[in-house]
Structures are given as C-alpha cells and as structure tokens.
C-alpha cells in the first residue's frame, strides 16, 4: 500500500485473482502463493495450462510454489531490492523496455530538481540525528506555468530516465550475486525470461505478499517490483500488474476502511498536529494537476472528506464548523503496533482493547510484548477463541514461562462471532467486496463485533451524558441511527459506507427535477459533494449498495468478453473497475496494445471508452486530449521517481536487514550509516536487542504453512492432524555441520530468546555464497503456541526483532539472525 | 459400503454371476502431479466426507502428516526431494491412496465372501461388515494401501467416494483440489486429456513425461500424470511395474486349482467306487467291533 500508491496512485492489487489466467509469465517473489493462497493459485495453473505461461519463483527456500515452477532462483532473505535493481539494470542496459509505454505513461521525461543528489548510499537531506530526511530536494523542476518541466527526448541529465539509469547501473549481475547469493547464471536466466515481456503482446504478472512487506525496507522492495513492471509496460493490462496478495481474507477491507492509526476511510488521512486549520489540511491533499490536462482525482478530496464527516456527525457537521474538523485527532506521530507496544512497555498505556488480534503471538519480540502487557492495568480481548494474548499471564511451562503472581493486568474476554457466524462483506486481494451469509449461529454467549462495540459505545455515551467530561462532543454527536442501537446490522453499515443523499439534490440540467431525494442511496463517488448534501462512510465503496440494492451480493459469473472480467460478480472498488489503470492497456491513440486481449478501447464513433472492463478513466476524454492513465497522480503518469512519498528515498536502494551476516552494505562499504535502512525508526532501547553475525551466524526467515492459518487453526482438529507439531527447516549441509538428522530436536536462538523444535532437514534450503562467505538460511514456520489442539510449541516471534519498515512499520519478520544447536 | 445403485462386477470369494443389463461408464481419477502443490486439501476433504479423524501426531522431520496411510487416513500426500539431474532440485509431491486396479490383488486374495467388491464402473470397495480382518488384502495389494484398524480389526482404504459417485458426484478430493490437479471423469476422456498434459510437460523440458496406468494390474482407475514416467520410483517409491504378488497367485490360482482338482478327483473317485463296489455295507460283526 505504502509503495504502490506512491508509484501508481492507489495502494491495492492492480489486477485481480481471475485475471492472473491472462498472464504469459508469472513471477512469484516475496510470497509463496501456492502455500499461502492455494485457492488463488489456481489461476496460475490456468495460465500455465491454457496460455503456456511460465512461472518463475525467487525465494530463499524452494517452496511449494517453486515445486510447480519452470525457473527457480534462490536469494538471501532481505536482498530483493538488490535482485530487482539488477533486473532494472539488465532491462535498461539491454533496451528491453516498452518504449511507447514508458515515454507516455511514466515520468521518464520529467526533470528533477538540481539539488537532489545521491551520494555514498544517502539521498540529499539526511539527518543522522533524526534518522530521517528533509525531502525538499526530492521534487520536480517546475515551469512558470506551475507544470513540471519535461524533456521528451530523454537526453537531459536531470530527467528521471537518466537518473534512473545511473542509479541502477551499480546493480551489475556480479553485485547481485555478491549481495543475494544468487548464482549469476540463474539471475541472468530470470532476467532474460522477464525481458521477453517487454513487447506489447506479452505480459508478466508479479505476485507478492508478506515476503516483501515484512522487511525494514519492505515498501521499497515492492516499489522496485513496480518499477520493473512499468519498464515492461505491464501495468493496467490484462495478465499484468502488481498483485499484492493479502494475508487475511479481509485485510484489504481493513486498510480501505482506514483501520490504521494515520488513516481515515478510503485512504483519506488524519491531520498532523501542525494541521489545525481545515483549509490548509485540504489544500495539502487536494492535489492540483502537475501536467496540463490531467485528471488528478484527489482534487475531489473535499467531497470525500465532507461526505465522511456528514456520515459520522450528521446535522452537527456544518460548513460553519468546518464539518467538525476540529473533532478529529491531530497526530504527533504514527501509532502503529510497534509504537503502541513501545509505549505500553514504557508504562504510558494503561488499557488495551484487543479486537481480532493475537499480538503475543503475532507481534515481534515476545519478551517485549509480554512485558508490555504485564504493565497494563486492564486488557479487553474480543475474539472467538482463547488466544495466547488473553492467557499471556498463565504459566505454560517452557512455552510461556511467566509468574502469574507478578502480573496484575486484569484481562476481560469478550467472546465474538467468527466469520461463518455472521453476515457481511469481505474485501479480497483483488478489491472485490463480496457479501457472505452466516452459516451457523454463534455458540454460547458470543456476540458479533459490532454488538460488542455498540455496547461499549452506548455505555460510554451514557456516562458522558450523565457525568459530562472533557471534550464529549465527538461521542455525544456521533450518528447512531440503527434500528437496534445495541446491534447495528451489517446491512445498515454497508449502506452507510456506500453513501446517500442527506437532502434532496436538484438536477442542474432540469430545474424542478431532483437527481436524488433525501435518503436515497447514491450510485457512486462521482455524486459526492462538499456542500453537506451527501453522506458517505467510505468514498471508495460508494455504489456498493445503491438503489439497485446490494451489489456485493451479486453472483453472476458471466464473462461476455472471455477474458475473466466478470462485472456482475460482487462489486469491485473503485466504481466496479476490475483492472486499475486500464487506460494504459491502450496506446496513445486509444487502440489496445494487444488486440487479442482487449480490455477497453476508444470508440471514435460513439466518442467513449468502453470494453470488457469499466474504464478507470474519464470515459469521454478523447485520446488526443492527452489525459494520462494514472488518474490519481497529479502527474497523470506513474512515478519511477517517487518524489517525497517514501521515507528513505525517491529511488529504492538496497540496504541490509538490521540483523545481517554482512558488516557492511557491499554497495556502500565505506558508509556504516548506509548499512541498514537509514530512515527506519529504531527505539533507543532496542538497538541492544539486535544480534551480530559473530554470535548469530545464520539468516532466519519466518513464514506460514498451507496447513494452518496464523495462530488460529491450531484450534481446529483437521488442521492439527495435518501439521501437528512445530518444526524448523535447515539445509543438509548445515545439518551435517550440526550433526542433526531429520526429526531431531534443535534450539534456535536469537538475541531476544529461543525456541526448540523438530528439525526438517531439506535439500530445499541451500547454502548461499554471500560476499565470499557461506551463509545458511534457517526457516521457521509461525503457527504454534501454548493453546489449541496441536502439540504445544514455542511462539516463533520470540525470535524476531522489534523494528519495522520505514514507511509502514511492518515488522522485519523475514530476515534476522539466529544461532542453532542440537539439543 | 453396500450400494444397490452400482452394479457389482466381482465379489471376493464368490462365483455368483454379475448383472450385465445396464451400460455403466468406466470412471477414473487422474492426478496430475505437475499441477499438485501439496496443500493437503484432498486429505481434509477425505477426512470430512468420510467422518475420519486421525490422531494428532508428531513431526518426524518431514512435511508428511499423517505420516502414513491408516484406517483413519485413506489418502496422504508424500513429499520427495529428488535431483533427477545433477543440480536440478525437484519437490515431487504425490497423493497416495488406493489405485482401484482393474485386476485388484486385494479382491483376489480376500477369503471373506463379499468383503471386497469391484463395481462395473471400476471402483474397488471394501465392505467392512463382511471383513474378517485376516489382512490378506494387504498382502495382495501391490501398492501397500489397505490398513487394518486396531479399533474394529477390519481393513479400510479409499472408496473413490463410491457413495458420491453413485449419485453422480465427483470424489470429495477432486472437488476440493484448488488447482484442478485431481480430475474425475470417464477413463476414456481422462486418457485423452492426459495426452495434452503430457505434451505440455514435454514442451517444458520433461522429455519422459507420461501417464501412470500400469498394465501389470490391468490398468488402474486412479492414474497419475508424471514428469518422469520412466522413473516412477522417484515419487516416494511408486512401483515401476506393479503386479499381484506371486504368493496370491500361488494361493488363489495354482493352489486353488490344484485343490479343486483334488476335491473333484475325490468326488469322482467316490462315485466310481460306489458304482463299481456298491454301497459300503457294515455287518454286525463290524458294528460290534466299533
């Protein structure tokens, strides 16, 4: 999300599951789709069977995905930017790029400020004390007309193309091999195969997941992949895309609805504490076009924001009070999970409501998380199961060796329903909002999450009404018009997200006639207004429940054009568009790059864009108007140069993981600041919790198995039977060194703790030659704990470091250091 | 599981002729190992449909779990890490279970009338109510599939979901397989389909790709598409040339024939003796001595 939006404009899977069948080449890297997404993986199988597609897997381990691949290349965990930077260098050096695409649909020709520099591993503006950048130099040269200056010849030394070429010229095949440990011939074979899709009628799709996200430079890994796809012209086309496979069935819905500390619904953002003024807040977000004739859709930010505030605060939100802008919290910093547990650990958080989350098992560095929880006065756990979190204070022998007498935290468990016990919608990776119906009544005293939250809210409101208190306005004025206030229905909430008319809305073309009558459901976000006449809980979902009814419940899988765009199946945000940026599937004259895979096209007779998909574009804008396909970006094109949108620089650069077997970054051996991500946040006390290669020589990576889902299915008999007991995976050579045979018990230690598990000795993990030394990988699946039907095990996150990605703070679960020994 | 709706072709230890009026389609399951990702959805579907719950085991240093077939695990995935050529690693994953042979060694060796039956559609099924628990089917099976239950001392194995197939449904494993690696249909159609899959694998460099439908057991109703059909043993010991054990052949065919001849000879001898010597008469003296 934090990488695709700075590149393309929106942070979501560009294509969707079914469309993967249209690919000629599938690259699985930073993920293991066959393992973690076996049902979605069927579309890879379809592409192979029906389009003769090839599958490349790049991974530290020979995975279940690799088992059915055509090409496998190993790499060291945490070095994906080096690998992909090498691919970019290969494509540019060998002229394997789609010229018409990059010239017209990316920022290749844009000129960058002269002050922007990159020296010795650091971009201009770095402050070592703050561990962050002043980003003023990370921008374009603007002309007197306010537009970016461009050089269509691409010869200007300050144009993005030239800067890009220079930046990645250092990523030679030898450098890739040194950093990643990938044999050079394997790397080149991958490059050659990827390069075949630079032609207009061949496409590659990239499928990735948490194998890219969970690094201290995870967002930039994803961005590097996105840049490869742009060079090849593989964005906005069928069978192409950057396909972020979400790790939970509704995690896309979570981010869409803004359940991150800095977000509001629909990727609107919370103000910072230096943004006390509404107009300033708005102006900083309603981007004006940076090139002539561009849509720059965020210009409508005010319409989305006002409609959101009308949805929340109804009549209390007025133009005079800036739509209750003052009631929104203003952030001094992000409150991601690492920050919150840091605060809890410091004793500045007293109470914690934990809903649908098992942080004792899911958050990094168990000793710190457990210590943080022990400092709470109270914790409320809302979950269908007894989780490790809810029982963190119990002694479970070696697996949770705590002394309950020393823990004073009061824990309340509120049993909730699970997905099969409730109606509602789930948003899948491909942005489809799919309605589902409950299959069974919940057991015992379990209540739906919205009933539990409603209960807490109504009680709080009652207390504020009775006793008053500091700043009661946002609580007392919150719209709560549900038929059963103590249990809002999923249908009511879905209608609220989709949006309706707050007043009658007159038709400007026909005086006396109304477009909408008060209370009517709207058709989509184009109808939202910033005058208070519309309410919409999440502008991206607008239209999901219109006057036509619940479009999320549609189950018509008709595919009239035969390329997998089933427009009457569920509802896809935005506006039921299935492939984002689909204007880019056509050339500048509006004709499809690949006529055999026509998605949309310009019809000069009707003067409209149409086709198999809903155009992600102004359907009336003729090609000669020059409007770019990336309508969310004020540039109208996709960005190689991410301007000021990323924490660690406009171009992705390889940095070592915080715990790395290398003392220096081979790209910047002289600069210790550029060893690990210089812009990643590290809490002061945590520096000492990082181990070094002399004590912890092996690279460790953690992951899921197909037999389980997180820490949940160990409570299910069938899954417990399939994968009953904790294990770790090591290569045969390391096993020989340790005198370990398959099934032996081993202890894996990091600086933060240890686990003991059975050893799976495998050919699928091989030693890598990294900068002249042999490096072994240790693989640790995550699924065990001290509750459930499986054999009890250690929590894997006992081992992992308390540091995250510089943009998202997603923890670095995928690459850290361990030692291992036989027990 | 007795199923009136499926015509029986053969029953163990029975000579009653089978019905031959209805035209029954010969069915099969084709398991395309080049599409299998080893997700074990087939194992779950099998456990759910057949109401089986094996024990929660341990990890023995491999992905395989349950570690082996049992009376409560009628199908298991077997994972083999092999290097068919130097430096070329392959992870060959095979769904193991009953092959439903045309010439079933289990049925041949079974002494219990009606405990093992073969339907006209090709499914070989165990009827546990008639099973005497002798374990001869285990000796008779060239694929080492049936398992005796410690609970009821009866033999169990995959039924090819004969109960589902009887009402026009595909086996549970085929329905659950997310990648379509398990196909179910008429054997003729699947043989044709396998040709296309094998051609695809050959294009991808698997020169010895082929179908596993071994003639030693008359062909099977569970067939595999293999990348390395020349070396089936790479797939966790899939037998290269399976056939019915010589012991079963000796016992059921030669010994039975010899016994039959012996029994017949005794009867014929008796009749001849009666005709030539007349009935055996006992006089009073002899009676007294008795």
- CA-based nearest distance A295→chain B, Å: 41
Q: Residue A804 in contact with residue A215, Cβ under 8 Å?
A: no
Structural domain containing residue A757? 672-822
Same-domain status, A463 and A555: yes
- List pLDDT tens digits, range A590-649: 999 999 999 999 999 999 999 999 999 999 999 999 999 999 999 999 999 999 999 999
- Quickly tell me which residue has 């991808």 as its tokens: B204
**Cα(A768)–Cα(A765) distance, rounded to whole angstroms?**
9
Write down which residue in A247, A276, A292 finishes a domain: A247
Nearest Cβ partner for B89 among A48, A721, A763? A763
Q: Which residues of B touch A789 (CB under 8 A)?
A: 56
B87 touches A: beta carbon within 8 Å: no
Tokens of residue A806, six digits: 């510089």
Task: Give me A395's structure tokens.
Answer: 């002694």
Say if B88 is an interface residue toward chain A (CB within 8 Å). no
Q: What is the model's pLDDT at position A670?
A: 97
- What digits encode the pLDDT tens for the residues A635-653? 999 999 999 999 999 999 9
Cβ contacts (< 8 Å) between B81 and chain A: which residues? 762-764
CATH code (residue A228): 3.40.228.10
Cα distance between residue A626 and residue A636, in whole Å: 9
| Claim to verify: residue A197 and residue A304 sit in the same structural domain | no
Residue A742, sorted as left (phi over 0), alpha (psi -120 to 50) or beta, turns out to be beta
Q: Is B83 on the interface with A (CB under 8 A)?
A: yes
- Token duo for residue A720: 């417990």
Chain B residues within an 8 Å CB radius of A65:
37
Cα separation, A723 vs A708, in Å, equals: 8
Residues A204, A292, single domain; the answer is no
Tell me the C-alpha distance between A211 and A27, whole Å.
Answer: 13
**Chain-chain contact of B37 with A66 (C-beta, under 8 angstroms):** no
**How many CA within 13 A on the CB side of residue A181?**
25
CB contact (8 A) between residue B178 and residue A41: yes
Q: Which two tokens stand for residue A771?
A: 């900068």
Q: Which residue of B has its CA nearest to A74?
A: B89
Residue A648 lies in a domain: no
Among chain B residues, CA nearest to A762: B81
Asked if residue A520 belongs to a domain, the reply is yes
pLDDT, residue B4, reads 63
Q: Does B90 touch chain A (CB under 8 A)?
A: yes
Distance CA A77, CA A701 (A): 7
For residue A123, pLDDT beyond 60: yes
Residues A484 and A561 in one domain: yes
Pairing of the two strands A753-762 and A727-731 = parallel
Q: Which of B39, B54, B62 sits opposite A38 (nearest CB)?
A: B39
Q: How far is A760 from chain B (nearest CA, A)?
A: 4
pLDDT at position B283, please? 63
Instruction: Report the residue of chain B nearest A65, measured CA to CA.
Output: B37
Nearest to A61 by CA among A785, A803, A777: A777
Does the beta carbon of B40 lie under 8 angstroms from any beta carbon of chain A?
yes
Q: Is the pLDDT of residue A1 over 90?
A: no
Identify whether residues A131 and A268 lie together within a single domain. Answer: no
Burial class from Cβ neighbours inside 10 Å (0-12, 13-18, 19+) for residue A247 reads: middle
Q: CA-CA distance, A393 to B175, in Å (whole number)?
A: 44
Instruction: Write the ipTM.
Output: 0.95
Last residue of a domain, one of A199, A220, A247: A247
Q: Are A323 and A437 members of one domain?
A: yes
Summarised one tens digit per residue, pLDDT across range A321-331 is: 999 999 999 99
Using the predicted structure, report yes or no on whether residue A350 has a pLDDT greater than 80: yes
**Mean pLDDT rounded to a whole number for chain B:** 92
Q: How far apart are the first and last CA of chain B?
A: 53
Residues of chain A with Cβ-Cβ distance to B41 below 8 Å are 38
Query: Measuring CA to CA, how many Å separate B170 from each of A212, A297, A312, B160?
Result: 39, 50, 51, 9
Task: Tell me if A727 and B38 make a contact (CB, 8 A cut-off).
Answer: no
Taking an 8 Å cut-off on Cβ atoms, the answer to whether B37 and A41 are in contact is yes
Average pLDDT estimate for A713-721: 97
- Mutation target to probe the A interface, by most A beta carbons within 10 A, among B39, B64, B209 is B39
Does residue A290 share a domain with residue A220?
Answer: no
Partners of A48 on chain B (C-beta within 8 Å) are 200
Exposure b/e, A190-228, CB count within 10 A at least 16 = b: bbebbbebbebebbbbbbbbbbbbbbbbbbbbbbbbbbb
Q: Peptide bond before A574: cis, by omega within 30 degrees of 0?
A: yes
Q: How far, in Å, CA of A270 to CA of A335, rounded? A: 12
Predicted pLDDT of residue B289: 55
Is pTM beyond 0.90 here?
A: yes
Q: How many domains does chain A fold into?
A: 3
End-of-domain residue from the set A551, A572, A593: A572
- Residue pair B87/A183 in contact (Cβ under 8 Å)? The answer is no
Least confident of A34-38, A685-689, B156-160, B271-275: B271-275
Residues near A712 by beta carbon (within 8 Å), at least 6 away in sequence: A358, A385
Q: How many CB pairs under 8 A join A and B?
A: 117
User: Token digits for A238?
Assistant: 């069928």
At A419, is the pLDDT very low, low, confident or very high (cuts 50, 70, 90)? very high
Q: Is A599 exposed, middle or buried (0-12, 13-18, 19+ CB in 10 A)?
A: buried
Instruction: Confirm whether A357 is domain-assigned.
Output: no
B91 vs A42, A764, A791: nearest CB = A764
Residue with tokens 């999450």: A449
Q: What pLDDT does B267 receive?
A: 81
Cβ of residue B129 closer than 8 Å to a chain A Cβ: no
At A773 the three-state DSSP class reads strand
Residue A642 lies in a domain: no
Whether A594 maps to a domain, the answer reads no
A777 in the same domain as A791: yes
Cβ–Cβ of B56/A790 closer than 8 Å? yes
Helices A173-180, A184-195: axis angle to 10 degrees equals 120
Q: What is the mean pLDDT of chain A?
A: 97
CA distance A709 to chain B (A): 13
Distance from CA of B101 to the nearest CA of A (A): 28
A248 or B1: whose pLDDT is higher?
A: A248
Total count of residues recorded for chain B? 290
Q: Is the pLDDT of residue A587 over 70?
A: yes
CB contact under 8 A, B39 and A717: no
In a domain, A643, yes or no: no
Chain A residue at shortest CA distance from B68:
A722
Question: The domain that contains A739 carries what CATH number?
Answer: 2.40.40.20
Which residues in B lie closer than 8 A to residue A741 (C-beta atoms)? 61
Sort out which chain B residues have CB atoms less than 8 A from A717's CB and list them: 53, 56
Q: Test B57 with A724 for CB contact under 8 angstroms.
A: yes
Lowest mean pLDDT among A26-40, A568-582, A719-733, B238-252: B238-252
Element (DSSP H or E) covering residue A381: strand A378-383
- Looking at chain A, the whole-number percentage of residues with pLDDT higher than 70 is 100
pLDDT for position A322: 98
| Residue A126 and residue A36 share a domain | yes
Burial class (CB in 10 A: 0-12, 13-18, 19+), A640: buried
Any A CB within 8 A of B63 CB: yes
DSSP string, A180-248: H---HHHHHHHHHHHHGGGSTT--EEEEE-HHHHSSTTHHHHHHHHHHHHHHTT-SSSTT-SEEE--SS
Distances (CA, A) of A217 to A550, A678, A812, B26: 40, 10, 9, 57
Flag whether pLDDT at A278 surpasses 50: yes
A304: in domain: yes
Instruction: Tell me whether B56 touches chain A (CB under 8 Å).
Output: yes
| Residue B281: per-residue pLDDT | 66
What chain A residue is nearest to B42 in terms of C-alpha separation?
Answer: A722
Q: Is the pLDDT of residue A677 over 70?
A: yes
| Per-residue pLDDT reduced to its tens digit, A136-182 | 999 999 999 999 999 999 999 999 999 999 999 999 999 999 999 99
CA angle A41, A216, A383 (to 5 degrees): 60
**E strand map for A221-350:** 242-244, 263-264, 268-269
Q: Among A609, A788, A779, which Cα is nearest to A711's?
A: A788
pLDDT tens track for A56-91: 999 999 999 999 999 999 999 999 999 999 999 999
Looking at the complex, report in whole angstroms how far the Cα of residue A775 sits from the nearest Cα belonging to chain B: 19
| Residue B85 contacts A where some CB pair is shorter than 8 Å | no
Q: Which residues of A touch B (CB under 8 A)?
A: 34-35, 38-39, 41-42, 45, 48-49, 52, 62, 64-68, 70, 72, 706-707, 717-718, 720-727, 741-744, 757-764, 789-791
d(CA A660, CA B228): 40
For residue B253, the model assigns a pLDDT of 67
Q: Which of B55, B61, B93 sits opposite A67 (nearest CB)?
A: B93
C-alpha torsion A334→A336→A339→A343, nearest 10: 100
- Closest CA–CA distance from residue B248 to any residue of chain A (Å): 35
Asked if the Cβ–Cβ distance from A38 to B47 is below 8 Å, we say no
Clarify whether residues A214 and A269 are in a common domain.
no
Mean pLDDT, range A347-356, rounded to an integer: 96
In a domain, A806, yes or no: yes
One domain for residues A306 and A191: no
Please give, rounded to a whole number of angstroms, the shortest distance from the CA of A315 to a CA of chain B.
50
pLDDT number for residue A18: 97
- Token digits of residue A187: 């790397």
CB contact under 8 A, B41 and A790: no
pLDDT surpassing 70 at residue B1: no
Beta strands in chain B (DSSP E): 8-11, 27-32, 76-85, 88-96, 116-119, 124-126, 147-148, 155-156, 182-186, 210-212, 222-226
d(CA A42, CA A168): 35
Distance from CA of B241 to the nearest CA of A (A): 26
Kindly state whether residues A238 and A265 are assigned to the same domain. no
Tell me how close the Cα of B138 comes to any Cα of chain A, in angstroms.
25
pLDDT of residue B3: 55
Cβ <8 Å between A721 and B53: yes
CA-based torsion, A756, A761, A766, A769: positive or negative: positive
pLDDT at A511 over 90: no
B91, closest residue in chain A (CA to CA)? A67
């Amino acid at each position: 999300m934090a990488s695709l939006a700075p590149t393309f404009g929106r942070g979501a899977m560009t294509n969707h599951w079914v469309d993967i069948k249209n690919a000629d080449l599938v690259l699985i890297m930073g993920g293991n789709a066959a393992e973690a997404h076996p049902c979605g993986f069927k579309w890879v199988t379809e592409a192979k069977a029906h389009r003769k597609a090839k599958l490349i897997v790049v991974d530290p381990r020979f995975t279940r995905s690799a088992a059915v691949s055509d090409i496998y290349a190993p790499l060291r965990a945490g070095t994906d930017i080096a690998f992909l930077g090498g691919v970019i260098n290969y494509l540019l050096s060998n002229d394997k790029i789609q010229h018409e695409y990059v010239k017209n649909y990316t920022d290749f020709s844009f000129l960058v400020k002269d002050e922007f520099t990159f020296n010795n591993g650091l971009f201009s503006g770095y402050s070592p004390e703050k561990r962050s950048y002043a980003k003023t130099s990370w921008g374009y040269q603007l002309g007197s007309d306010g537009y970016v200056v461009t050089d269509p010849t691409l010869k200007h030394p300050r144009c993005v193309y030239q800067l890009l070429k220079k930046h990645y010229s250092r990523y030679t095949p030898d450098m890739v091999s040194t950093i990643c440990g990938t044999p050079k011939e394997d790397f080149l074979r991958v490059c050659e195969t990827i390069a075949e899709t630079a032609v207009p009628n061949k496409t590659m799709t990239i499928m990735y997941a948490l194998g890219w996200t969970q690094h201290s430079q995870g967002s930039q890994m994803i961005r590097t992949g996105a840049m490869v796809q742009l060079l090849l012209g593989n964005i906005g086309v069928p069978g192409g895309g950057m396909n972020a496979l979400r790790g939970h069935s509704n995690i896309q819905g979570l981010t869409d609805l803004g359940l991150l500390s800095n977000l509001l619904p629909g990727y609107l953002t919370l103000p910072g504490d230096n943004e006390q003024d509404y107009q300033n807040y708005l102006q900083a977000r309603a981007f004006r076009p940076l090139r002539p004739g561009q849509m720059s859709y965020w210009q409508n930010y005010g319409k989305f924001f006002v409609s959101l505030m009308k949805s929340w605060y109804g009549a209390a939100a007025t133009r005079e009070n800036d739509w209750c802008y003052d009631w929104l919290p203003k952030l001094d910093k992000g409150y991601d999970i690492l920050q919150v547990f840091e605060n809890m650990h410091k004793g500045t958080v007293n109470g914690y409501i934990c809903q649908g989350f098992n942080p004792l098992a899911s958050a990094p560095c168990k000793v710190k998380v457990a210590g943080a929880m022990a400092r709470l006065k109270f914790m409320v756990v809302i979950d269908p199961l007894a989780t490790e979190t809810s029982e963190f204070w119990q002694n479970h022998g070696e697996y949770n060796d705590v002394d309950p007498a020393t823990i004073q935290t009061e824990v309340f468990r509120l049993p909730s329903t699970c997905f099969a016990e409730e109606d509602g919608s789930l948003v899948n990776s491909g942005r489809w909002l799919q309605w589902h119906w409950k299959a069974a009544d919940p057991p015992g005293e379990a209540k739906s999450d919205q009933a539990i939250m409603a209960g807490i809210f109504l009680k709080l409101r009652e207390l504020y009404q009775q006793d008053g208190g500091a700043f009661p306005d946002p609580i007392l004025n919150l719209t709560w018009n549900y038929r059963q206030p103590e249990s809002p229905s999923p249908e009511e909430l879905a209608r609220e997200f989709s949006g309706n008319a707050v007043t009658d809305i007159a038709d400007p073309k026909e005086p006396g006639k109304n477009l909408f009558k008060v209370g009517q459901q709207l058709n989509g976000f184009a109808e939202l207004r910033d005058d208070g006449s519309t309410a919409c809980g999440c502008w991206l979902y607008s239209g999901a429940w219109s006057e036509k009814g619940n479009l999320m419940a549609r189950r018509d899988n008709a595919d009239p054009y035969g390329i997998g765009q089933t427009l009457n199946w569920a509802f896809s945000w935005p506006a039921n568009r299935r492939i984002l940026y689909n204007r880019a599937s056509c050339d500048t004259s509006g004709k499809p790059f690949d006529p055999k895979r026509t998605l949309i096209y310009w019809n000069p007779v009707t003067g409209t864009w149409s086709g198999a998909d809903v155009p992600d574009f102004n359907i009336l804008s003729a090609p000669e108007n020059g409007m770019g396909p990336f309508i969310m970006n004020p540039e109208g094109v996709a960005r190689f140069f991410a301007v000021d949108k990323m924490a660690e620089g406009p171009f992705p650069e390889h940095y070592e993981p915080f715990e790395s077997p290398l003392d220096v970054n081979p790209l910047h051996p002289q600069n210790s600041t550029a060893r690990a991500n210089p812009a990643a946040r590290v809490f002061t006390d945590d520096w000492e919790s990082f181990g070094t290669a002399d004590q912890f020589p092996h690279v460790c990576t953690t992951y899921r198995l197909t037999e389980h889902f997180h820490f949940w299915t160990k409570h299910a008999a069938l899954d417990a039977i399939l994968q009953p007991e904790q294990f770790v995976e090591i290569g045969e050579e390391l096993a020989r060194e340790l005198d370990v045979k398959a099934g032996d018990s081993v202890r894996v230690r990091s600086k933060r703790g240890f686990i003991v598990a059975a050893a799976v000795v495998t050919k699928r993990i091989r030693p890598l030659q990294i900068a002249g030394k042999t490096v072994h990988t240790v693989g640790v699946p995550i699924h065990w704990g001290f509750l459930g039907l499986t054999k009890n095990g250690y929590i894997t996150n006992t081992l992992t470091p308390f540091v995250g990605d510089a943009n998202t703070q997603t923890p670095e679960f995928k690459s850290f250091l361990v030692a291992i020994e036989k027990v | 599981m007795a199923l009136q709706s499926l015509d029986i072709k053969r029953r163990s230890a029975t000579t009653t002729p089978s019905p031959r009026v209805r035209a029954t389609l010969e069915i099969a399951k084709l398991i395309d190992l080049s599409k299998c990702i080893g997700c074990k959805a087939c194992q779950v579907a099998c456990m759910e449909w057949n109401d089986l719950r094996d024990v929660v085991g341990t990890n023995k240093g491999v992905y395989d779990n349950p570690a082996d077939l049992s009376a409560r695990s009628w199908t298991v995935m077997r994972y083999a890490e092999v290097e068919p050529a130097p430096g070329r690693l392959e992870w060959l994953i095979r769904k193991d279970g009953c092959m439903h042979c045309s010439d079933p060694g289990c049925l041949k060796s079974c002494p219990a009338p009606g405990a093992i039956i073969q339907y006209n559609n090709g499914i070989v099924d165990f009827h546990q109510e008639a099973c005497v628990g002798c374990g001869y089917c285990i000796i008779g099976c060239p694929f080492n599939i049936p398992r005796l239950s410690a609970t009821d001392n009866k033999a169990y194995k995959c039924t090819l979901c004969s109960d589902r197939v009887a009402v026009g449904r595909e086996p549970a494993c085929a329905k659950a397989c997310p990648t379509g690696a398990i196909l179910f249909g008429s054997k003729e159609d699947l043989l044709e389909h396998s040709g296309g899959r094998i051609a695809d694998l050959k294009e991808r460099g698997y020169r010895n790709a082929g179908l596993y439908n071994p003639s030693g057991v008359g062909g099977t109703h569970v067939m595999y598409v293999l990348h390395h059909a020349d070396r089936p043993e790479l797939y966790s010991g899939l037998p290269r040339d399976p056939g019915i054990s010589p012991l079963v052949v000796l016992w059921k065919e030669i010994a039975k024939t010899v016994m039959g001849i012996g029994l017949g000879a005794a009867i014929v001898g008796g009749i001849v003796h009666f005709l030539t010597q007349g009935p055996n008469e006992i006089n009073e003296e002899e009676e007294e001595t008795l």
